[in-house]
Amino acid sequence: MLTRTKTEADHPVVPSPRAGAAFVLDRVSLSYGRHEVLKDISLDIPRGQQVAVIGPSGSGKTTLFRLLSGFLMPTAGRILSLGQDTRGLRGRRLRALRRDIGVIYQNDNLIPSLRVVHNVLMGRLGHWWFGRALLSLFWPQQLQAARDALREVEIEDKLWAMPGELSGGQQQRVAIARLLVQNPGVVLADEPVSQLDLRLGRDVIELLTRFTRQRHSTLLVNLHTLDLLQGNFERVIALREGRVFYDGAPAGISRPMLSELYGAEYRALHLDQLDLGEAP
């Protein structure tokens, strides 16, 4: 049994060369009624960092993402998202923050009644005048932008397809193409590969990490497939029962640590078979 929370001091993360913080959490707690879901969390996430958030079901990962994007406000403490205190944000300034934070989920990222081209161009809605945005639903003015984004995720031929005609992996690629068009400062990906097999999941994570790195965007991915941690992320934040259980480099993750973190889920997730890249 570990007796204390491991911290960055144990496995220091190399500081990002890009100045400024994407997110600062200062003693943040969040309760639903009397149920305290996140407890006294303090974190500093520099701009451009690529972070995996892990932890058992119900540990508060999705809740953390909703706080960062300003969809939930902390019950106690303070969050600075891209330099702004989320508690003070209303109306136009809150919408502007949300436009600069791209979000991708495990499924249902696309509007099923719209062709791929229009789904991709939805990423532009924040940048267009309302009328032009509406018009684009009928005639894609930014056809070339959509084509370029789909080429980057290697499904240019699906420009005019309906989402229902695509595989799960292709649908996630369309969602990434929409993020490319949106070009946000931060991407929050909540289990983006949970519905995919390991090979397709690896492709999607590599696309996400590559394009955010190229654009110096910050990336936070909530991940259940721990095989995808090594090589893709510079920092891992593990939550357990609403608290930070581990915060450091992927290299600091060990089997005993995962066993304690996941408890009863450890075997169900086949974590005992996980390749941690350790020396034999």
Residues lying near ligand ATP in the complex (CB under 6 A) are found at 32, 35, 37, 55, 57-63
Residues in the chain: 280
Question: Which long-range contacts does 2-9 make (Cβ < 8 Å, 24+ apart)?
Answer: 2/256, 2/257, 2/260, 5/243, 5/244, 5/245, 5/246, 6/245, 6/246, 6/247, 6/248, 6/252, 6/257, 7/247, 7/248, 8/247, 8/248
User: Least distance to ligand ATP from the beta carbon of 106, Å?
Assistant: 9
Diameter of the chain measured on Cα atoms: 61
Closer CB to ligand ATP, residue 60 or residue 123?
Answer: 60
Q: How far is the CB of 60 from ligand ATP (least distance, A)?
A: 4
Nearest distance, CB of residue 264 and ligand ATP, angstroms:
13
Cα separation, 81 vs 83, in Å, equals: 5
Output 191 or 247, the one with its CB closest to Mg ion.
Answer: 191
User: Given the complex with Mg ion, which of 63 and 171 has the nearer CB atom?
Assistant: 63
Give residues 56-85 in contact with Mg ion (rule: CB under 5 A): 62
Q: Which is nearer to Mg ion, 58 or 77 (CB)?
A: 58
d(CA 45, CA 143): 35
Residue 150's binding partner, choosing from Mg ion, ligand ATP, none, with beta-carbon cut-off 5 to 8 A by kind? Answer: none
Binding-site partner at residue 167 among ligand ATP, Mg ion, none, CB < 5 to 8 Å by type = none
Q: How far is the CB of 212 from ligand ATP (least distance, A)?
A: 21
What is d(CA 41, CA 276) in angstroms, rounded to the nearest whole number? 27
Segment (H or E) for 179: helix 168-182
Nearer to ligand ATP, 33 or 280 (CB): 33
Question: Which residue lies nearest Mg ion, judged by its C-beta?
Answer: 62
Q: Footprint of Mg ion on this chain (CB under 5 A)?
A: 62
